[in-house]
Amino acid sequence: MRIRKAKINDVKSIQVLINEYARKEEMLPRALNDLYESIRDFFVADEEGVVIGTCALRILWEDLAEIRSLAVKDGFQGKGIGSKLVKACLKEAHDLGIKRVFALTYQREFFKKIGFKDISKRKLPQKIWGDCLRCPKFPDCDEHAVILNLKRFKGKTT
């Protein structure tokens, strides 16, 4: 298994993974055109040419990025694939000079093990006024907001 940047021919597999979680209401669905437009944000976990996991890093501002669309195929969970995908995104954020990375998640404890801390969604106005207003769950979002200061995390992203 290897973690790599996603390629155009991964998009349909990424969509299948994300939309499996969306059917369980654990993630928002993603349209193919949205995934093609944002393919450079994505990393995938690849096992013998099959996408078994995905995660994206979306830049929101000069010092803020979001981990999103983290999904690992059934049967491959609990093997550290999700952590490796998130760490690949964190390394890229660090390399780009991003200072803080956040996630909105139902899996708060997973992110806390990596070093993220709880934060109020109100402290993330770039997210709220960007994506959240278009979400069917707004304003009654039940996801947890977590954030990581990459300065304090330096060296742990590889």
- The CATH code of the domain that includes 57 is 3.40.630.30
Tell me the one-letter amino acid at 69: S
Is there a domain that residue 32 lies in? yes
- State the residue range of the domain holding 34: 2-153
Is there a domain that residue 74 lies in? yes
Q: What percentage of the chain carries pLDDT values higher than 90?
A: 70
- Contacts of 28-31 with C-beta under 8 Å, sequence gap 24+, read 28/135, 30/69
Is there a domain that residue 158 lies in? no
Q: Evaluate the omega torsion of the peptide bond into residue 139 and state whether it is cis, within 30 degrees of 0.
A: yes
Q: Which helix (H) or strand (E) holds 71?
A: strand 64-72
Count of the separate structural domains present in the chain: 1
- Per-residue pLDDT, averaged over 43-62, amounts to 95
Is there a domain that residue 137 lies in? yes
- pLDDT higher for 142 or 29? 29
Residue 129 reports pLDDT greater than 70: no
Split at pLDDT 50, 70, 90, the class of 41 is very high
Is there a domain that residue 104 lies in? yes
Read off the tokens for 142.
Answer: 């039940």
Split at pLDDT 50, 70, 90, the class of 26 is confident
Check if the beta carbon of residue 76 is closer than 8 Å to that of residue 83.
no
Residue 45's pLDDT is what? 98
Q: Burial of 49 by CB count in 10 Å (0-12 exposed, 13-18 middle, 19+ buried)?
A: exposed
pTM: 0.87
